[in-house]
Amino acid sequence: MKKCLILIVVLFLISCQPEINVIINKEPGRITGIVVPVDKAATVELYQGKLIGETTTDGSGFFEFDDVPPGTYRLIAKADLYGSVERSNIKVADGEGYDVGIIELIPVPNPLTSVYPSNGARSYSINSSYLRFTFNEYMLPESVEEALSITPEVEITEYYYPTESYGNYSYSYTFYGNFIHGTEYAYLLDTTAISGYGTSLEFPFTGTFTMEKFVINGIEFGYGSNSRLEIRFNGYVLEDEFEKIIFKPGTAIIMDNFYGYSYSPSRALREYSSTIFYIKPVTSWMTDTTYQVTISGDIAELGGITLGKDSIFTFETEPIQVTYTYPHNDQYYIGLLPDILVRFNNFIDEGTIEEALSVTPEAVYEIYSYRNDEYSYFYLNVTTGLQSKTEYNVEISTALTDIYGKHLKAPYSFRFVTQ
């Protein structure tokens, strides 16, 4: 079946990786900075969605990335015995440099070795967010939990930790919680965290991170008259919010397979919320039509944070057309009592078939029409044998319409030769 291509024109920027900002045919720039303390050889990683470069500081703490295409980046600086630090929204203009200034690494207290996310991290994903502390000694889980405080206060929903020491060199303690979109958090791990050997954290450790704002992070559309539209959010949304999406022209639509894939901050609401709206028409999308879809800025995620502003996009559907025939055009050696089939990319008005159809030379047949969930088709049941070794031509005129009253754009014909 020839598929009906639906073109989506997105009028606003939506991206699963908001750091990506590719500009073609521009002069590269550079990113520089200094990491202190300067006597520590720090590693500096450059990201644009994914890791794209890595360098180390020199004896004065200086680092540089050359030949950086214009765009928006983030970097992470880290060194042994120090916590990592993130800088984001680094904008490199055409042929220019960007100096991030001084990045100060903070010592981590023994036996702590690392913390995730990096200090100063921004746009941290709400659906996979966690706070993880890694130590080089086994720490008593209850002591780590009691030593941690987060501001503003967060409900910790899950806590994962090693059950006992196995002589490893790395032990991770991970906290999941009901973090809120667009909120900056500060955490403190104090010295009441104690190892299995009775060693306290050397000194308190602090850091900050900011959750990403609540946004639409993807729209996808399939092919065909009954394709589903997928609207993806970066947070869990209740099914009732679906009513805040408006289609013009108005079309009867339904939610299809409402569920999400990401970690849900509230397990009790998991079955009632999703990160993805799957939308399908009850019958089909109208042919030869430009749809305008408005996603209301009042749509809210589970925590009550709204999108804040309306977002609009459009898509265009193809006109009604023939997608398949049997016999195929120019097919030979067709039997004298064939079933001649014509399939369409949407649902046709069955009452217009007879007027629009002609077969030359004349043939005696009965017309049967059918439809499934996605399209219509009809076939001609030839009741009197066709002439042998004869070329037949089947034509469908523009008098044929679909269920929306849209006519075939141009006559369609195919031919075949009998045995």
| 19, pLDDT greater than 90 | no
Give the span between the Cα atoms of 46 and 48, in whole angstroms. 7
How much is the mean pLDDT over the chain? 88
- pLDDT tens digits, 177-234: 989 999 999 999 999 999 998 999 999 999 999 999 999 989 988 766 788 899 999 9
Per-residue pLDDT at 1: 38
Cα gap 388→393, rounded to integer Å: 14
Q: Where are the domains of the chain?
A: 7-12+214-316, 19-106, 322-418
| 239 token code pair | 């099914």
Look at residue 17 and tell me whether its pLDDT is greater than 70. no
**Whole-angstrom distance, CA of residue 164 vs CA of residue 171:** 10
Query: For the structural domain made of 7-12+214-316, what CATH number should be given?
Result: 2.60.40.1220
19-106 classified as CATH 2.40.110.10? no
96-100, 179-183, 263-267, 322-326: least confidently modelled range:
263-267
Beta strands 253-255 and 339-344 are unpaired
Per mean pLDDT, which of 11-20, 47-56, 388-397 is the most reliable?
Answer: 388-397
CA separation, residue 355 to residues 230, 350, 399 (Å): 39, 10, 7
What is the C-alpha separation between 141 and 250, in angstroms, rounded?
56
Q: Tell me the C-alpha distance between 30 and 45, whole Å.
A: 14
* pLDDT above 50 (res 21): no
Give the confidence band of 3 by pLDDT, cuts at 50, 70, 90.
very low
User: Closest by alpha carbon to 119, among 209, 240, 218?
Assistant: 209
CB 214 within 8 A of CB 307: yes
Q: What percent of the chain is predicted at pLDDT more than 90?
A: 71
pLDDT band for 126, please (50, 70, 90 cuts).
Answer: confident
pLDDT at 167: 63
- Label residues 300-327 b or e (16+ Cβ within 10 Å = b): bbbbebebeeebebebebbbbbbbebbb
Task: Give CA–CA dist 374/42, Å, rounded.
Answer: 59
Average pLDDT (50-74) is 95
CATH 2.60.40.3710 fits 322-418, yes or no: yes
In this predicted model, which residue has the larger pLDDT, 80 or 328?
328
Given the structure tokens 């195919």, which residue do they identify?
414
pLDDT score, position 221 = 83
Q: In terms of C-beta distances under 8 Å and separation of at least 24 residues, what long-range contacts does 47-52 make, across chains too?
A: 47/19, 47/73, 47/74, 47/75, 47/76, 48/19, 48/20, 48/21, 48/72, 48/73, 48/74, 49/17, 49/19, 49/20, 50/17
What pLDDT is attached to residue 127? 74
Number of other residues whose CB lies within 10 A of the CB of residue 235: 26
Give pLDDT tens digits for 161-188: 997 766 668 999 999 998 999 999 999 9
7-12+214-316 and 19-106, same CATH topology: yes
- What is the pLDDT at residue 225? 79
Each residue's pLDDT tens digit, 256-304:
765 544 444 444 444 456 888 999 999 999 999 999 999 999 999 988 9
